[in-house]
C-alpha cells in the first residue's frame, strides 16, 4: 500500500519575491496588491504620522478608507521618514533584499533621493524598478501633476462618456486602475526576462498612455472617420432597442438586440406581440433606429405592467441578452458570486471585511488575500530583520 504524501502548504507564483513599494493613492498600490495576492512579500513604506494619504480619502469601511482597504491588503507597513538622513541606510538594506522596487512619487522626487533607475541599477543590477507617473518622463508634460479625473479629461475619455447634453467622468478611478494593471503586467514580464538574462529592468507606465490605449476605438473612429462617437448615455447609438428600460416597479434593466432574428424572438417572448416583428416601422434595425421614439413608447407601455424580475424572466425566455441595472448594494449579493464562492474574508485593523478574489483564477492555488496593515504595523519587525 502506498503511503499518502504529507500535505504541503500551497505555493503561489510569486512566493519568494520581495517588493519594496514607495507608493500612495491608487495606481501603484493597486499594482503591488496584485503582486501580494500572488504570494509576493510587499513592504510598503509610509510617512510616519499620516501614512499613505489614501488612508484619509474616506472613513466608510468601519472607520477606514474604502480606497485603502481595497488596494493594500497583504502588505507590511513600514513607517519611515525619508527626509531624515538615517532613513537612507535602511532603504539601502531593504533594496539589497528586494526583487522589485515600485514608486509613484511626484515627478523628480525619486531622482532627488537617488532612487531613479540609473542610480539603482549600479548598486542592484538584478532589481526591477517600476515607475508610475502621470505623463511619463520626457516631453512638455513630464513635470505636470496628474490626478485620475485630469487624465480622464486629457485622454479624451470624458468627451465620449455621458449624454448628448453633458459629458461625464467615469465613476471609478479608471486612469489609476489602468496604469496599475499595466504596471503589474510589466513587472511580471520583467521578472520573466530577468529569469533569462539575470538582469533587472526598468518598467515605466504613465497614466495618460495607459488610459489612451483603452481609448483606441474612439480615437480611431474620430481620426479616420472624421467625427467623434456620439455620447449616448445608456442608449446604443446605432442599435435599437438597446439600452436602459424601466419596469413598472421603478427598477431598470439593460438589454440589447443584435439582429432581426432576435427582434422576432423579442416580439414573441417579451412583448408577447409576435405580429409586431413585421411592423413596417420596425422590421429592420435601421428602421428601429429611425423610429426609436415610437418603439420606446411601445416598450414603456408594455414594461409598465411588469416588475423588473418579470421582465428579466421574459428576456431570458426569449434568449435576449440582459442585465439588471444594479446598485452597488445589489452587487454584494449577486447570485453568481455566491454560487462561485468568490467572496473571502480579509482582516483589517478594525475588523474583518469581505473582498472578492482576483478575477484571474489559477488552478491549484488561491490568492493570498492577506491582511490590511495598520500604519507602521511592521516597522519594528522589519528593522529588527535588517539588524537594527
Residues 355 and 254 in one domain: no
256: helix, coil or strand?
strand
DSSP string across 342-364: -EEEE--TT--EEEEPPSSPPTT
The CATH number assigned to the domain holding 29 equals: 3.40.50.10540
Residues 38 and 185 in one domain: yes
Which tens digits make up the pLDDT trace of 243-288?
999 999 999 999 999 999 999 999 999 999 999 999 999 999 999 9
Which pLDDT score, from 0 to 100, does residue 9 have? 58
Answer yes or no: is 226 within a domain: no
As given in the structure block, the three cell numbers for residue 55 are: 488612508
Which pLDDT score, from 0 to 100, does residue 3 have? 43
Answer yes or no: is 225 within a domain: no
Q: What is the C-alpha radius of gyration for the chain, rounded to an integer number of angstroms?
A: 26
Answer yes or no: is 13 within a domain: no
Residues 43 and 80 in one domain: yes
Answer yes or no: is 224 within a domain: no
Structural domain total, the chain? 2
Answer yes or no: is 230 within a domain: no
Mean pLDDT, the chain, integer? 94
Domain end point (choices 291, 324, 357): 324
Number of CB atoms found within 10 A of residue 140's CB = 7
Residues 78 and 186 in one domain: yes
Residues 314 and 351 in one domain: no
103: helix, coil or strand?
strand
- What does the alpha-carbon distance between residue 51 and residue 78 come to, in Å, rounded to a whole number? 9
Indicate whether 314 pLDDT > 60. yes
Indicate whether 1 pLDDT > 60. no
Beta-strand pair 343-346/100-103: unpaired
As given in the structure block, the three cell numbers for residue 360 are: 484571474
Range of the domain at 317: 242-324
Which tens digits make up the pLDDT trace of 322-348?
999 999 999 999 999 999 999 999 999
Residues 120 and 92 in one domain: yes
Residues 46 and 148 in one domain: yes
Helices vs. strands in the chain: H and E counts, helices first: 16, 11
Q: pTM surpassing 0.85? A: yes
What are residue 21's phi and psi, to 5 degrees? -120, 115
Residues 53 and 198 in one domain: yes
Sign of CA dihedral 326, 331, 337, 339: negative
Please say if 236 is a catalytic residue: yes
The CATH number assigned to the domain holding 284 equals: 3.30.1540.10
Residues 253 and 138 in one domain: no
Answer yes or no: is 80 within a domain: yes
Residues 212 and 157 in one domain: yes
Whether residue 127 contacts residue 100, with contact meaning beta carbons closer than 8 Å, is answered with yes
Answer yes or no: is 317 within a domain: yes
Peptide bond into 128 cis (omega under 30): no
The CA-atom distances, in angstroms, between 159 and each of 212, 234, 354 are 13, 15, 35
- What does the alpha-carbon distance between residue 356 and residue 347 come to, in Å, rounded to a whole number? 13
Residues 248 and 289 in one domain: yes
Which tens digits make up the pLDDT trace of 192-218?
999 999 999 999 999 999 999 999 999
Cell 431570458 sits on residue: 316
Residues 319 and 347 in one domain: no
Domain end point (choices 324, 350, 365): 324
* Lowest-pLDDT choice from 59-73, 107-121, 167-181: 107-121
Which of 368, 383, 377, 301 has the alpha carbon at shortest distance from 46? 377
- What does the alpha-carbon distance between residue 55 and residue 347 come to, in Å, rounded to a whole number? 16
Q: Which of 24, 196, 236, 334 is catalytic?
A: 236
Query: b/e map of 166-204 (b: 16 or more CB within 10 Å)?
Result: eeeebeebbbbbbbbbbbbebbbebbeebeeeeebbbbb
Query: b/e map of 32-47 (b: 16 or more CB within 10 Å)?
Result: bbbbbbbbbbbbbbbb
Answer yes or no: is 284 within a domain: yes
Amino acid at each position: 500500500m502506498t503511503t499518502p504524501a504529507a500535505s504541503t502548504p500551497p505555493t503561489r507564483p510569486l512566493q519568494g519575491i520581495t517588493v519594496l513599494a514607495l507608493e500612495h493613492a491608487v495606481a501603484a498600490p493597486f499594482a503591488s496588491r496584485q503582486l501580494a495576492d500572488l504570494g509576493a512579500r510587499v513592504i510598503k513604506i509610509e510617512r510616519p504620522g499620516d501614512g499613505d494619504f489614501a488612508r484619509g480619502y474616506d472613513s466608510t469601511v468601519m472607520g477606514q478608507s474604502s480606497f485603502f482597504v481595497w488596494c493594500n491588503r497583504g502588505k507590511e507597513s513600514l513607517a519611515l521618514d525619508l527626509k531624515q538622513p538615517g532613513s537612507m541606510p535602511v532603504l539601502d538594506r531593504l533594496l539589497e533584499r528586494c526583487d522589485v522596487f515600485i514608486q509613484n512619487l511626484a515627478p523628480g522626487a525619486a531622482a532627488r533621493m537617488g532612487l531613479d533607475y540609473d542610480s539603482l541599477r549600479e548598486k542592484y543590477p538584478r532589481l526591477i524598478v517600476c515607475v508610475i507617473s502621470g505623463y511619463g518622463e520626457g516631453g512638455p508634460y513630464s513635470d505636470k501633476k496628474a490626478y485620475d479625473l485630469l487624465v480622464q479629461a486629457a485622454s479624451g475619455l470624458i468627451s465620449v462618456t455621458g449624454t448628448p447634453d453633458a459629458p461625464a467622468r467615469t465613476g471609478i478611478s479608471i486612469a489609476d486602475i489602468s496604469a496599475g494593471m499595466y504596471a503589474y503586467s510589466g513587472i511580471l514580464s520583467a521578472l520573466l526576462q530577468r529569469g533569462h538574462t539575470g538582469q533587472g529592468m526598468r518598467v515605466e507606465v504613465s497614466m495618460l498612455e495607459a488610459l489612451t490605449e483603452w481609448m483606441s476605438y474612439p480615437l480611431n473612429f474620430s481620426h479616420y472617420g472624421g467625427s467623434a462617437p456620439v455620447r449616448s448615455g445608456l442608449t446604443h447609438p446605432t442599435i435599437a432597442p438597446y439600452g436602459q428600460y424601466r419596469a413598472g416597479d421603478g427598477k431598470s434593466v439593460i438589454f440589447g438586440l443584435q439582429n432581426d432574428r432576435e427582434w422576432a424572438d423579442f416580439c414573441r417572448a417579451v412583448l408577447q406581440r409576435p405580429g409586431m416583428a413585421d411592423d413596417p416601422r420596425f422590421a429592420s434595425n435601421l428602421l428601429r433606429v429611425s423610429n426609436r421614439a415610437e418603439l420606446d413608447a411601445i416598450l414603456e407601455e408594455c414594461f409598465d405592467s411588469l416588475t423588473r424580475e418579470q421582465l428579466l424572466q421574459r428576456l431570458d425566455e426569449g434568449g435576449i441578452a440582459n442585465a439588471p441595472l444594479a446598485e452597488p448594494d445589489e452587487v454584494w449579493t449577486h447570485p453568481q458570486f455566491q454560487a462561485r464562492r468568490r467572496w473571502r474574508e480579509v482582516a483589517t485593523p478594525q475588523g474583518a471585511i469581505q473582498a472578492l478574489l482576483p478575477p484571474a483564477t489559477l488552478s491549484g492555488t488561491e490568492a493570498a488575500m492577506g491582511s490590511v496593515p495598520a500604519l507602521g504595523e511592521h516597522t519594528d519587525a522589519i528593522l529588527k530583520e535588517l539588524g537594527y
